[in-house]
Amino acid sequence: MIDQGTGLAGMVDTLFMTPAFLWFLAVLPVILILYLLKLRRTEVVISSTLLWLKSLQDLTANAPFQRLRKNLLLLLQLLIALALALALARPYLRAEMLPGQYICLLIDRSASMQTQEKAGTRLDLARESALRLVNEMRWGDRMMVVTFGETADVLVELTEDRVRLREVLGAIQATDESTRMRDAFFVAQSLHQTNPDLSVIVLTDGNVSDLAQILPRSEAGAPSATEEELVLESQMPELVFFQVGETRDNAGIVQLSMRKPSDEAGEQQTFALVHNESANPLQTTLTLYFNDVMIGVSELDVPPGADQEVLFGHGDLGEGLLRAELDTHDALAVDNQAWLAIRPAAKLQVLLVSEPKATSTFYLQRVFALDPRAELETVAPSNYFDTQEYDLVVFNGFAPPSLPAGSLLFFNAVPPVEDLDVLGELENPPVIASEGEHPVMRYLNPANVGIAKAIRLGLPSGARALASTNGGPLIADVSRGGQQILVVAFNLEDSDWPLNLSFPLFVQNVLSWTPRAALSETRTTRAGRPLALPPDPLAESATVAAPDGQSYDVRLDPMRPSYFAATHQVGPYRVALGGRDMTYAINLLDPVETAVAPAEALEIGRGRVEAQKEKVTVNREFWRWLVAAGIAILALEWWVYSRRAWV
């Protein structure tokens, strides 16, 4: 249960699930009053009172508020009312698992669960506790197992099969990921909708970074919860937090980045941040390597619970793998190293085919000059000839009879693509829709772009309208055979787009979309998050080698990035793609994971789930027994009353 108060109210909350129904106990004095009230008698004239001595005694005793006498029926009725009122309040006791219990186990498999304790890792301790619960299962018990790190995985649905549960628990392995419990909790909450008696047991050290995403934490001093918060709280299942681990002896790298100089020449800098979670000062060194060659060493003296910044100065490193290593032996080893995969930005050869004196040519030359990746050449359409030397060819108001190699961008021109037809002209077309998920349309909002006229296009099968109006597409992706082809169906001179912020963003996105630019993008991310492999029209698959040496084959999309999700370990991932070798760096870099000291409670919304450390116990309700007792007492009361009336 989530504790929400102290004192008498808090004590009542910890004894009853629905304490508001205790107001029904007010019926007890009502029953007593009914037995104390004066009886209304009917006067009848009789010849003698000799035969009515007993009635005269009752009449004398019952005026005006009779003295309460021993009455078995009164006692039985009070017991019935008490049992039913308590049953409505749903009392419970803290107990270990009992028959008929539904349990959902949420087991933390994040990086901090690799922390070494005296009796093994924290995951080993969590597994032992989970196996103990399985061994205590009796007839009618069912258990579900969900693990969580960066994401949640349902390992087994509710089942009575203890053999299957033991196999699943024994196979759980810790990852190098951050701790995010939100998805796992929502899995348990959805199960709670169909199983109201479900108990959720969380086996973790409590270092969870996304509790506020489960239910926002109320501000200190807030007068009361909102209606929405009350609804969310009412839907929460019973939550038990079993704390795993004791030690806080750890230090780790929590940030690593490289700062590039403002100009091409000059010193570059690598920044690192080290956190010391231990109760003792940390005196050690941080060493920086590039392609396994040491390029810098810094001495550290970090007080307990503090951070220390480290800055390494070095020259331009070029392409390779940067590694920072903390020289220490502590309870958690995974955060003692961090990597950066460095690849200099690619220089892209761009050819602009346009009339030199046209205003639209000036706009395009200016916008490409803003991006340092682009090396632009401009030729008139009359001087154009097919060449294989350019990463991107931009045709402005001109389309060649055959398509050259590389990525292509057409302005106010229709490329020779099969089934791409000109259907007429659009007058003053408004931009009414755009596809923000396409790489060239990210972060764009072209809705406020004014266009005087545009070509009305009929798109071939498989093409995508990236920006459209009522009459058809204004910007379209008509890529074919692995070649990237974009069409802008209007003249820049007939619009105010060059004066809009979305225009340079569009050009930057187009440059980033080209295959060679995609290869030079950042290749460093967090454990548990997917790697984006660039498209390659000439390669069907890529081979990914994980830090543990295991290899994976990933099928590639010729037009869009493909994703590799098995990034559970930190370290360098080597990718062989289309005859090229690339390196991706996967890190932990999470202060929450490095701070391994176990949490004493999980704070969710207005509640606080205190940690249990010895045995896992759950709230065991016994209102059904109270209802059964009430029915039994009611039957006994009827029998006593009938016996008095008939005997």
CA gap 101, 83 in Å, rounded: 23
Of the residues 517, 538, 570, which one is the last residue of a structural domain? 517
Does some domain include residue 44? no
Higher pLDDT residue, 643 or 363?
363
CA proximity to 152, closest of 106, 218, 120? 106
Q: Specify whether the backbone of 80 is left (phi greater than 0), alpha (psi in -120 to 50) or beta.
A: alpha
Helix (H/G/I), strand (E/B), else coil: 393? strand
- Asked if 146 and 84 sit in the same domain, the reply is no
Q: Which residues are paired to 422 by β-bridges?
A: 457
> What pLDDT, on the 0 to 100 scale, is given for residue 144?
95
The proportion of the chain whose per-residue pLDDT surpasses 90, expressed as a percent, equals 51
DSSP string, 227-291: HHHHHHHHTPPEEEEEE-------EEEEEEEEEPPSSSSS-EEEEEEEEE-SSS-EEEEEEEEET
- Segment 379-405 shows an average pLDDT of 91
CA gap 56, 258 in Å, rounded: 104
CA gap 318, 408 in Å, rounded: 29
Between the ranges 184-193, 224-233, 272-281, 550-559, where is the mean pLDDT highest? 272-281
Please report which helix (H) or strand (E) contains residue 339, including its range. Answer: strand 337-342
CA gap 254, 309 in Å, rounded: 10
Higher pLDDT residue, 277 or 518?
277
> What pLDDT, on the 0 to 100 scale, is given for residue 261?
56
What one-letter code names the amino acid at 288?
Answer: L
Q: Mind listing the pLDDT tens digit for each residue in 33-69?
A: 766 665 556 676 766 666 566 665 555 544 555 566 6
Tokens of 130: 């989970």
Contact (Cβ atoms closer than 8 angstroms) between residue 129 and residue 169: no
- Asked if 332 and 366 sit in the same domain, the reply is no
Q: Which residues, 6+ apart, have CB-to-CB distance to 77 below 8 Å? A: 31, 637
What one-letter code names the amino acid at 332?
Answer: L
Q: Mind listing the pLDDT tens digit for each residue in 432-460?
A: 988 888 889 888 888 889 999 999 999 99
For the cut 50, the answer to whether the pLDDT of residue 223 exceeds it is no
Distances (CA, A) of 62 to 35, 54, 277, 625, 637: 10, 13, 78, 37, 23
Higher pLDDT residue, 224 or 537?
537
Does some domain include residue 627? no
For the cut 90, the answer to whether the pLDDT of residue 547 exceeds it is yes
> What pLDDT, on the 0 to 100 scale, is given for residue 10?
46
- Asked if 240 and 267 sit in the same domain, the reply is no
Does some domain include residue 1? no
CA gap 462, 452 in Å, rounded: 28
- Asked if 101 and 231 sit in the same domain, the reply is yes
Sheet with 238-243: list strands edge to edge. Answer: 152-159, 142-148, 102-108, 199-204, 238-243, 607-612, 601-604
For the cut 80, the answer to whether the pLDDT of residue 533 exceeds it is yes
Contact (Cβ atoms closer than 8 angstroms) between residue 569 and residue 175: yes
Tokens of 567: 């990034």
**Kind of pairing between the strands at 607-612 and 601-604:** antiparallel
CA gap 111, 249 in Å, rounded: 15
Question: What DSSP character marks residue 521?
Answer: S
What one-letter code names the amino acid at 119?
Answer: A
Q: Mind listing the pLDDT tens digit for each residue in 193-202?
A: 888 878 899 9
Tokens of 113: 């669960």
Q: At 633, is the pLDDT very low, low, confident or very high (cuts 50, 70, 90)?
A: confident
> What pLDDT, on the 0 to 100 scale, is given for residue 29?
79
Q: Mind listing the pLDDT tens digit for each residue in 380-391?
A: 999 998 877 888
For the cut 70, the answer to whether the pLDDT of residue 95 exceeds it is no
For the cut 50, the answer to whether the pLDDT of residue 5 exceeds it is no
Tokens of 123: 């995951």
CA gap 481, 538 in Å, rounded: 10
Please report which helix (H) or strand (E) contains residue 203, including its range. Answer: strand 199-204
CA proximity to 237, closest of 598, 601, 609? 609
CA proximity to 519, closest of 440, 439, 575, 587? 575
CA proximity to 252, closest of 177, 302, 314, 181? 302
Q: How far is CA 296 from the centre of its chain?
A: 37
Does some domain include residue 42? no
Q: Which residues, 6+ apart, have CB-to-CB distance to 425 below 8 Å? A: 453, 454, 455, 456
CA gap 275, 253 in Å, rounded: 6
Does some domain include residue 367? yes
Contact (Cβ atoms closer than 8 angstroms) between residue 312 and residue 326: no
For the cut 60, the answer to whether the pLDDT of residue 1 exceeds it is no
Contact (Cβ atoms closer than 8 angstroms) between residue 341 and residue 380: no
DSSP string, 527-574: TTSPEEEPP-TT-SEEEEE-TTS-EEEEE--SSS-EEE----S-EEEE
- Segment 21-40 shows an average pLDDT of 71
For the cut 70, the answer to whether the pLDDT of residue 519 exceeds it is no
Instruction: Provide the domain limits for residue 549.
Output: 523-587
- Asked if 228 and 286 sit in the same domain, the reply is no
Tokens of 536: 């390659």
Q: What is the CATH number of the domain that holds 555?
A: 2.60.40
Tokens of 414: 């229709």
CA gap 492, 505 in Å, rounded: 15
> What pLDDT, on the 0 to 100 scale, is given for residue 37?
64
Does some domain include residue 639? yes
Number of domains in the chain: 5
CA distance between the termini of the chain: 52
Least confident piece of the model among 8-17, 113-122, 139-148, 439-448: 8-17
Q: What is the CATH number of the domain that holds 406?
A: 3.40.50.880
- Asked if 112 and 192 sit in the same domain, the reply is yes
> What pLDDT, on the 0 to 100 scale, is given for residue 283?
95
Q: What is the mean pLDDT of the chain?
A: 84
Q: Which long-range contacts (CB under 8 A, 24 or more apart) does 559-564 make?
A: 559/479, 559/482, 559/484, 559/535, 560/439, 560/535, 561/439, 561/518, 561/532, 561/533, 561/534, 561/535, 562/532, 562/533, 562/535, 563/530, 563/531, 563/532, 563/533, 564/530, 564/531, 564/533
Question: What DSSP character marks residue 91?
Answer: B
- Asked if 122 and 202 sit in the same domain, the reply is yes
Higher pLDDT residue, 518 or 397?
397
> What pLDDT, on the 0 to 100 scale, is given for residue 252?
96
Q: Mind listing the pLDDT tens digit for each residue in 596-623?
A: 999 999 988 767 888 887 665 555 566 6
- Asked if 104 and 217 sit in the same domain, the reply is yes
What one-letter code names the amino acid at 562?
Answer: S
CA gap 290, 24 in Å, rounded: 74
- Asked if 372 and 415 sit in the same domain, the reply is yes
Q: What is the CATH number of the domain that holds 259?
A: 2.60.40.10
Question: What DSSP character marks residue 14?
Answer: T
> What pLDDT, on the 0 to 100 scale, is given for residue 109?
96
Please report which helix (H) or strand (E) contains residue 186, including its range. Answer: helix 182-194
DSSP string, 444-505: --GGG--BSEEEEEEPPTT-EEEEEETTEEEEEE--BTTB-EEEE-S-GGGBSGGGSTHHHH
- Asked if 78 and 153 sit in the same domain, the reply is no
- Asked if 376 and 459 sit in the same domain, the reply is yes
Contact (Cβ atoms closer than 8 angstroms) between residue 477 and residue 485: yes
Helix (H/G/I), strand (E/B), else coil: 210? coil
For the cut 90, the answer to whether the pLDDT of residue 561 exceeds it is no
CA gap 520, 580 in Å, rounded: 12
Helix axes 72-89, 27-36, angle to 10 degrees: 160
- Asked if 156 and 241 sit in the same domain, the reply is yes
Does some domain include residue 629? no
- Segment 86-114 shows an average pLDDT of 77
Please report which helix (H) or strand (E) contains residue 130, including its range. Answer: helix 122-135
Least confident piece of the model among 85-99, 114-128, 139-153, 313-327: 85-99
> What pLDDT, on the 0 to 100 scale, is given for residue 60?
53
Does some domain include residue 626? no
**Kind of pairing between the strands at 293-302 and 282-290:** antiparallel
> What pLDDT, on the 0 to 100 scale, is given for residue 623?
64
Q: What is the CATH number of the domain that holds 188?
A: 3.40.50.410
